[in-house]
Chains A and B, each alone.
Chain A
């Protein structure tokens, strides 16, 4: 078992690759009362067109398959996995994102039993048609629930309009029409394609001993060795910088217009910078220009252009960088123009950079306070880089004004899509 010391902290992460190919990452902490176990399968909503074991075998899945499979996997031939976890008094759940399906358990007793039960239900698929038909009704209700939520409507609408080929265009759950085409054959095929141990990883955090956990896992994989691993390559659909649709207005039962705008930015000039560092620098630029401590925020709230929060985010995607802003305002054109003006402003100072370093270091250290935050931090590292980055604090400490300015000067915001929800 490898021990990885997180630099400039007292924290240690343990790593082991099991015989079955499963990667196991552990953050034990004897001061914590609870433990959080996650079983992550690299199968997300965007994995709907792949090559299997080489270029010749191509497989496609309806949109929403990963999410449907996640729902269906909780049902086994002798009932529901929830039943078994309820006997342990544990809380169990799952979620699907664009690139991963995650099954999670949180508890403070019966570590071994929880880990075994988690393994058992993820590794024993049982997809019968009757139960699949019932699940379609449940997921249809879930989809309709999102269609009543303005924030969800605006997020889905913006992604659809921003992308031409990229699969972020489609919702994670698929549409009601998409899921009509899912049957037990689809689910078994998806399971056999993606659910091997080679294509999965565990993150365990909290109150347990790593050597004991590893011993338990070695026994468990004898019972549940997983399906035969396949070499999976997501078929890349090249995404142009041009957006699919520049503007859309949708009417809902709201008071103040909701604005969701995203810029599609060329990443080729920044291709030499690794994803974590690039994302850290762009986040710093956004924080310094748009957070509550920024000149921009002071201006727009004082002048009553935006009242309330402004959410902003950055995502480094395969073919472009997405920078998004979401807020409510009666002054749509004026607020958008102010955002663009602030984006193009060049007034970040050395003391700003020193301040933001402290913010990031503190935020990283805080994550070690609870089992869920540290799991999220580790899982995001693994998904992005396939390893744990032990040098995060050094990266933060090394941030400098010169590189911030260089990156800032490269960000071209000429491709945008805006989704507005207005009152009916």
Chain B
């Protein structure tokens, strides 16, 4: 794989030339500060931009044009990384050796959606905006059907309702209902001018030719400052306990732990190894063995390390009458992690699992782009350095770090059916 960077005044183009895949991936990335308004506007805007453009004025026409390009797959992705929104529009196309023009045609459609949207009197189409708002409204309202996701968001809300930690990636209803086609267009102009922008291309390409072609076609004309709002503030609250009845069979039980005062090495490496042993690993994790293997109290239990949110989240679904028992067992496993050494086997297998997963990055165009992007934001080190550092984590490092893990929220919901 050959990595290249083409620096331009208004954007950078990063290319990865590889014949590993039979597709080419082109991704335009926008980075901006995460507020409830920005998140909702970005999600809606990206839905609107991928719905139509000035040439293909309806979803049907645009979809048919993409299908004609051997089903070029164009979609948007809006994610939250701590205090930042990373929003992309992506197109992935089959790389036919016999039709080199396909990639150029795909870039044309992608850029046309971003730079030549379907406008009526200088605003987005009312019909399209309202249609996408309805669809988003349904998505937001249906979050409650995903009991795991919604219980985690509700638990995080107990800490601070205004923190990006508890923002739903689907957007916020109170913001969405006030969006109009002109305010959305204003946001679009601001995004193009002020957001930090990067382009990534992965595939069997000629990087220089791609750079030339993109440079000719792109319409970014403002230089933006690179900001980094990624790491959220530490969690500093007294312990909160909340229990809510809802019409579900099982109780969804969530614990949020703060991770304050971590060193760089702990934050980047020790917590990940700790968590592979404690809760994020296979059915061999301590939480799995204690709750599922020995007692049959649950089907699933997972601990999620939210590095940029500076917290750990544990989720499980259990019989309502077992919530207290489960809470005590989780607490006991954490105390054991603090007081006793991990076994040699646990340390070895968790490190192997983590370092093996680093190598899998090269098998996915999406993972390659994400990895490159995070490296460019100085959020991670390169794979080989990371592998070396994970292997350096010791039993003592794990115990020392585990002492810094403090329970901030216990939240249970459900069990009333």
Interface residues of A (CB under 8 A from B): 31-34, 74, 80, 82-83, 85-92, 106-109, 134-139, 141-142, 144-145, 147-151, 252-256, 291-295, 297-298, 301-302, 304, 307-308, 328, 355-356, 358-359, 361-363, 365-366, 368-371, 424
Per-residue CB contact flags for chain B residues 55-71 toward chain A (1 = under 8 Å, else 0) read 00011100110011111
A308 touches B297 (CB 8 A): no
Contact A86–B353 (Cβ < 8 Å): yes
Whether the Cβ atoms of A86 and B131 lie closer than 8 Å is no
User: B7-31, CB under 8 A of A: which get 1 and which 0?
Assistant: 0000000000001111100000000
Min Cβ gap A140→B in Å is: 8
Interface residues in B68-108 (C-beta closer than 8 Å to A): 68-71, 94
Alpha-carbon gap, A34 to B355, bound state (A) = 13
Tell me the total A-B contact number using a CB cutoff of 8 A. Answer: 173
Task: Tell whether, in the assembled complex, residue B299 and residue A33 are in contact, meaning their CB atoms are under 8 Å apart.
Answer: no
Cα–Cα distance between A151 and B142 once the two chains are bound (Å): 11
Asked if A307 and B138 make an inter-chain contact with CB atoms under 8 angstroms apart, the answer reads yes
- Across chains A and B, which 8 residue pairs bring their CB atoms closest together, nearest first? A89-B352, A137-B296, A293-B63, A86-B349, A362-B70, A142-B299, A359-B71, A362-B71
Given contacts A89-B356, A137-B297, A142-B299, contact A371 B363 (CB under 8 A): yes
The interface-forming segment of B160-168, B244-252, B332-340, B398-406 is B244-252
| Count of chain B residues with a beta carbon within 8 Å of a chain A beta carbon | 65
Q: Is the CB of B67 within 8 A of A358?
A: yes
Closest to A133 in B: B296
Given A293-B63, A361-B70, also A145-B414 (CB < 8 A): no
Contact A34–B363 (Cβ < 8 Å): yes
Contacts of B380 in A (CB 8 A): none
Q: Select from chain A the residue with minimum beta-carbon distance to B94.
A: A362
**For window 223-260 of chain B, which residues contact chain A by CB distance below 8 Å?**
246-250
Residues of A within 8 A of B58 (CB): 298
CA of A135 to CA of B295, assembled, Å: 9
A85: B residues at CB distance < 8 A: 282
Question: Once the chains bind, are B63 and A141 in contact (CB under 8 Å)?
Answer: no
Q: A141-B297, A308-B135, A368-B22 are in contact. List 8 more A-B contacts (CB 8 A).
A: A80-B284, A86-B284, A89-B349, A141-B296, A145-B300, A148-B249, A148-B414, A253-B247
List 8 A-B pairs, Cβ < 8 Å: A33-B360, A90-B353, A91-B353, A136-B296, A144-B250, A144-B319, A292-B59, A307-B131
> Given known contacts A87-B349, A108-B356, is B282 in contact with A358 (CB within 8 Å)?
no
The reply to whether the CB of B359 lies closer than 8 angstroms to some CB of chain A is yes
Kindly list chain B residues whose C-beta atoms are within 8 Å of the C-beta of A83: 284
Contact yes or no, A145 B299, CB < 8 A? yes
B117 contacts chain A at the CB level, 8 A cutoff:
no
